[in-house]
């Protein structure tokens, strides 16, 4: 988001007292309770972590009333008489309800004065790419393509355990893991790695399941060929012959190899082994009936059968073979009795294929079956129960699907907090209210209109505060940045659809138009606003547009708009892609992040609009990532930059979510990434708000439908948790 607080009154998220907890509905403030002796500021009233311990951090507004604090029996430490305190608490898998006891002068103990709920989930997946079932042990193995790891889900509880990669197990790191198959009698898994990432990929690794140790068993330098792997995507294992069969999209064929020596054989390929007029376009997934000497292969938008002895290829289902809705982009494939079951990421559905006729039947989709919807089906896997399968989505969802009805349920459901369900609500910008401790977030309703969500500071409940059906005033349809005027009890909202600025009254939730070209106020139009700031000194709103390359100052009283700085000349170096800004009132300037090339941090004089370069990607040291938000951390003379998309563990320049930029030297330091700090990583943090008093950075993730909180109390390393989801 995007605000600066003029008056920093009591702040911090509260937790629910044994009695007197308030909820609240649309509109209205929940003032911080004067009877609360301690407040938990990290992670908050609720939290999700992938760790087995968590540091609970809090404050005591009146430390004279506190002689000590215990969190779930752990004695908290403090260096300032419990004005601030912290305790490292062990977590059990699943939901942990942690009572916070307060020891008072004179010996009185307030047991469970506040309570924290923390969900410990094990590994927090970023991209579940492929599944493999160990039915006997009740575990579903999966590859995380972003974290570059192999992990397993305990089907009884949903808890995940990291098995290899990410610091577990010796051997070469994973690079672009695509497929996994289990050889449980021998305690191993085979992982195929594709062509993305370093040129050293295009190989198969053996993972010892007991230790996570990794060994390359087939590659261009291990075993003989031809063929060599080009872009291997999936694999299966024949325990009778101890042979691995690989579908290679780049090679346009199937390759088998001996895992003892890595020697490779062309089983069926275009212009190579096998016959038939049906040429592969790009085989991506396969399943084999080794007793029937046949492999079934997904090839973009067709399903093939391949004779494993002769290599002969036959299309058994595509646009011209069999009846039913056409395939678009096929992914996983399994056998379920007499039919094949395939995933189609292009049409977001699970499809049954009759092996004899090629007829296609939609088994589960947005319109077939109930339950959570697919975003993008990337794999399917057999189930221990007949008539069911598992499927994984583009990122973090794993489904249990009844093929007879299409009904879907989640194998694990990492949710915390109560109230509005954030699924498919795409939380956008956030604003922290220092007067009440509440957090506001922009979300979408089912009609894609924007709504304002309020996260209750007392119990973490998510409440609709303002929007269609809640309070009165204009309805804004387009997502946009928000900014808070805490003292004036207003939340400013920019609507991309109407190119207008609105205000939401924080006392009652009512909405009003503040400024719009042709409707209210004079001055330039304000299309494509990327960020908003409220200036508490003069009471104006600042808006930056990447479309117009300008900063506009808006008077909320009149709606008048005045250009403060643009590319018309006389203002200094030109903007390229201005994307985010933060106020530095002590230096009378606005700091602006420009995502153009070179990436640049500008200082814009608050009075004149004149721009100077603070630093850019050619100056200083460290990677300068693109960002979605910046915030001034004045105590450490730096700007905190939140990256707009985190990629994967194999890319050191794109796995970073928070970077610090020194305002004197321009040097960049990684403060949070897959490798720096602990806690779940976001995928697509699109905005943020920062509270320097309680040392917290809040960031919504539109892909995970979650709001994250960063603990910034350690200026060198930021730990993370999911605040609400």
Mean pLDDT for the stretch of residues 276-282: 82
Instruction: Give, in order, the Cα–Cα distances in Å from 88 to each of 70, 75, 517.
Output: 10, 9, 53
How far is it, in rounded angstroms, from Cα 638 to Cα 573?
22
**Whole-model pTM over 0.75:** yes
Paired residues of 481 in beta bridges: none
Summarised one tens digit per residue, pLDDT across range 539-577 is: 999 999 988 899 999 999 999 999 999 999 889 999 999
The Cα 605–Cα 591 span in angstroms is 9
pLDDT value of residue 21: 32
Output 206 or 386, whichever has higher pLDDT: 206
Residue 338 pLDDT: 85
Please report the pLDDT score of residue 35 as a whole number: 54
Arithmetic mean of pLDDT, 44-68? 95
Place of tokens 């008048």: 560
> Is the pLDDT at 270 greater than 80, yes or no?
yes
3-state secondary structure of 64: helix
pLDDT at 199: 56
pLDDT at 646: 55
Q: Provide DSSP, 283-351.
A: EEEEEEETTTTEEEEEETTEEEEEETTT--EEEEEBTTBSSSSPPSSEEEEEEETTEEEEEETTTTEEE
Q: Please state, in angstroms and rounded to a whole number, the distance separating the CA atoms of residues 333 and 287.
A: 6
Q: How many residues are given for the chain?
A: 725
In this predicted structure, which of 293-307, 576-590, 641-655 has the lowest mean pLDDT? 641-655
pLDDT above 60 (res 706): yes
Q: Who wins on pLDDT, 456 or 177?
A: 177
Q: What percent of the chain has pLDDT over 90?
A: 76
Selected residue with higher pLDDT from 17 and 176: 176
Average pLDDT over residues 76-80: 97
| CA torsion angle 77 82 85 88 (round to 10) | 30
Does the N-terminal peptide bond of residue 316 adopt cis geometry, omega within 30 degrees of 0? no
Q: How confident is the model at residue 705 (pLDDT cuts 50, 70, 90)?
A: confident
Q: Indicate the pLDDT class of residue 178, thresholds 50, 70 and 90.
A: very high
- Structure tokens given for 694: 């309680």
Of the candidate ranges 148-157, 292-301, 454-463, the one whose mean pLDDT is the lowest: 454-463
Encode 24-55 in three state secondary structure. Answer: CCCCCCCCCCCCCCCEEEECCCEEEECCCEEE
Q: What's the confidence (pLDDT) of residue 349?
A: 96
Task: Give the separation between CA 639 and CA 581, rounded to whole angstroms.
Answer: 10
Residue 5 has pLDDT above 60, yes or no: no
Confidence of residue 30 (pLDDT cuts 50, 70, 90): very low
Looking at the predicted structure, is the pLDDT value of residue 1 above 60? no
| DSSP letter assigned to residue 159 | -
User: Does residue 339 surpass a pLDDT of 70?
Assistant: yes
| Residue 15 confidence (pLDDT) above 80 | no
Mean pLDDT of the chain: 90
- pLDDT at position 109: 95
pLDDT in tens, 483-522: 999 999 999 999 999 999 999 999 999 999 999 999 999 9
597-613 pLDDT per residue, tens:
999 999 999 999 999 99
Average pLDDT over every residue of 118-136: 94
Tell me the per-residue pLDDT of 652-686, one tens digit each, with 9 for 90 and over.
445 778 999 999 999 999 999 888 999 998 888 87
CB 565 within 8 A of CB 545: no
Place of tokens 């943020």: 688
Helix or strand or coil: residue 145? coil
- Is the per-residue pLDDT at 374 higher than 60? yes
Average pLDDT in the 407-436 region?
89
- Where do we find the tokens 């070209």? 517
pLDDT at 105 over 90: yes
What are phi and psi for residue 258, nearest 5 degrees?
-90, 115
Q: What is the Cα–Cα distance from 434 to 4, expressed in whole angstroms?
A: 10
Confidence class for position 36, pLDDT limits 50, 70, 90: confident
- Catalogue the E-assigned strands of 433-554: 439-444, 450-455, 462-466, 482-485, 490-495, 500-505, 511-516, 529-535, 540-545, 550-554
Q: What pLDDT shows up at residue 211?
A: 98
């Amino acid at each position: 988001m995007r605000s600066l607080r003029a008056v920093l009154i009591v702040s911090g998220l509260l937790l629910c007292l044994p009695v007197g907890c308030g909820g609240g509905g649309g509109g209205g403030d929940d003032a911080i309770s004067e009877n609360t002796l301690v407040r938990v500021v990290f992670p908050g009233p609720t939290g999700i972590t992938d760790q087995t311990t968590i540091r609970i951090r809090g404050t005591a507004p009146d430390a004279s009333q506190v002689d000590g604090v215990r969190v779930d029996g752990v004695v908290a430490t403090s260096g300032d008489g419990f004005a601030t305190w912290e305790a490292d608490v062990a977590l059990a898998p699943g939901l942990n309800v942690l009572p916070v006891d307060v020891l008072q002068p004179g010996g009185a103990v307030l047991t469970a004065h506040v309570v924290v709920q923390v969900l410990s989930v094990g590994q927090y997946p970023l991209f579940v790419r492929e599944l493999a079932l160990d039915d006997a042990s009740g575990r579903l193995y999966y590859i995380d393509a972003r974290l570059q790891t192999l992990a397993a889900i305990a089907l009884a509880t949903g808890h995940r355990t990291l098995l290899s990669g990410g610091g577990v197990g010796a051997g070469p790191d994973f690079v672009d893991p695509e497929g996994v198959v289990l050889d449980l009698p021998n305690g191993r898994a085979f992982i195929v790695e594709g062509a993305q990432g370093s040129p050293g990929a295009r190989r198969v690794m053996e993972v010892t399941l007991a230790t996570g140790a990794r060994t390359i068993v087939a590659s261009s330098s291990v075993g003989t060929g031809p063929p060599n792997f080009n872009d291997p995507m999936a694999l299966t294992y024949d325990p009778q012959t101890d042979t691995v069969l690989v579908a290679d999209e780049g090679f346009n064929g199937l390759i088998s190899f001996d895992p003892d020596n890595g020697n490779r054989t062309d089983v069926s390929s275009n212009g190579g082994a096998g016959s038939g007029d049906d040429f592969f376009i790009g085989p991506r997934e396969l399943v084999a009936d080794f007793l029937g000497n046949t492999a079934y292969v997904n090839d973009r938008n067709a399903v093939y059968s391949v004779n494993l002895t002769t290599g002969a290829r036959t299309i058994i289902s595509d646009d011209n073979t069999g009846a039913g809705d056409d395939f678009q982009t096929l992914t996983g494939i399994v056998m379920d009795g007499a039919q094949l079951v395939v995933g189609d990421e292009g049409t977001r559905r699970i499809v049954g294929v009759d092996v004899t006729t090629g007829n296609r039947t939609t088994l589960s989709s947005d319109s077939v079956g109930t339950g959570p919807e697919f975003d993008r089906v990337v794999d399917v896997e057999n189930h221990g129960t007949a008539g069911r399968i598992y499927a994984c989505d583009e990122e973090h969802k794993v489904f249990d699907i009844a093929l007879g009805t299409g009904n879907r349920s989640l194998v694990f459901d990492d949710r915390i907090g109560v109230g509005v369900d954030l699924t498919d609500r795409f939380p956008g910008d956030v604003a922290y209210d220092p007067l009440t401790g509440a957090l506001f977030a922009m979300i979408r309703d089912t009609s894609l209109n924007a709504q304002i969500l309020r996260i209750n500071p007392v119990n973490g409940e998510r409440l609709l505060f303002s929007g269609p059906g809640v309070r009165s005033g204009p309805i804004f349809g387009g997502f946009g940045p928000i900014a808070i005027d805490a003292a004036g009890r207003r939340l400013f909202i920019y609507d991309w659809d109407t190119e207008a600025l609105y205000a939401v009254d924080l006392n009652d939730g009512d909405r009003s138009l503040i400024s719009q070209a042709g409707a209210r106020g004079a001055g330039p139009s304000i299309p494509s606003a990327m960020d908003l700031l409220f200036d508490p000194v003069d009471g104006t709103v600042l808006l930056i547009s990447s479309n117009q390359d300008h900063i506009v100052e808006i008077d909320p009283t009149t709606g008048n708009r005045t250009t403060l700085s643009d590319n018309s000349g006389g203002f200094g170096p030109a903007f390229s892609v201005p994307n985010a800004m933060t106020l530095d009132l002590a230096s009378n300037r606005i700091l602006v992040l420009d995502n153009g090339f070179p990436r640049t941090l500008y200082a814009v004089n608050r009075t004149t609009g004149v721009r100077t370069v603070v630093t850019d990607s050619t100056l200083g040291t460290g990677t300068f990532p693109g960002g979605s938000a910046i915030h001034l951390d004045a105590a450490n003379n730096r700007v905190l930059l939140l990256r707009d998309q985190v990629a994967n563990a194999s890319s050191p320049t794109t796995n970073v979510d928070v970077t610090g930029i020194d305002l004197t030297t321009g040097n960049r330091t990684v403060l949070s990434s897959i490798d720096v700090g602990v806690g779940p990583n976001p995928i697509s943090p699109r905005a943020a708000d920062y509270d320097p008093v309680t040392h917290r950075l809040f960031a919504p993730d539109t892909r995970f439908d979650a709001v994250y909180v960063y603990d910034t109390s350690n200026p060198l390393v930021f730990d993370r948790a999911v605040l609400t989801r």
